[in-house]
Amino acid sequence: MNDTDVPQAAIADVPSTFGEAVVLLDVREDDEWQRGHAPGARHIPMGEVPARMAEIDPGAQLFVMCHAGGRSQRVAQYLVRNGFAPINVSGGMLAWAGAGRPVVTDGGNPGTV
């Protein structure tokens, strides 16, 4: 496995609740996040990840998600090179919502993807 190989997780293999031990990192842009996100996800837009890596617990199980899986893959590769062990969420928020999982806004209302 080279340093940019990132494990992929299908939505069925991604937990549905997150906390200290399991982190879902949403790397989409602010406007995408505001429309809707997974409950309990942490939001750090892709372009801010390098400056905000200290906010990510290296000991947590880390899932990285974007809209469809492309940006999160690139962020996950970057995190691997910086000592993290992320898992990319295949299909991103499209797959999350498609699996019938909840999508919420910051105010707690139903959101959209």
Closest by Cα among 30, 27, 35, 14 to 101: 14
Which position among 44, 66, 87, 113 bears the catalytic label? 66
Q: Check pLDDT > 80 for residue 107.
A: yes
* Cβ atoms of 64 and 75 closer than 8 Å: yes
d(CA 51, CA 3): 21
Domain 8-98 is found in CATH 2.40.50.140: no
Asked if 66 is an active-site residue, the reply is yes
Please tell me the predicted confidence (pLDDT) of residue 5.
87
The whole-model pTM stands at: 0.95
69 CB contacts (<8 Å, ≥6 apart)? 88, 89, 90, 91, 92, 95
Please tell me the predicted confidence (pLDDT) of residue 3.
52
Q: Check pLDDT > 60 for residue 99.
A: yes
Q: Using one digit for the tens of pLDDT, what is the confidence trace for 21-45?
A: 999 999 999 999 999 999 999 999 9
Please tell me the predicted confidence (pLDDT) of residue 57.
93
The residue-averaged pLDDT of 72-86 equals 97
Confidence of residue 2 (pLDDT cuts 50, 70, 90): low
Closest by Cα among 49, 58, 59, 24 to 38: 24
Please tell me the predicted confidence (pLDDT) of residue 38.
97
- Sheet architecture: strand order including 42-43: 8-9, 86-89, 61-65, 22-26, 42-43
Q: Give the domain ranges of the chain.
A: 8-98
1 CB contacts (<8 Å, ≥6 apart)? none
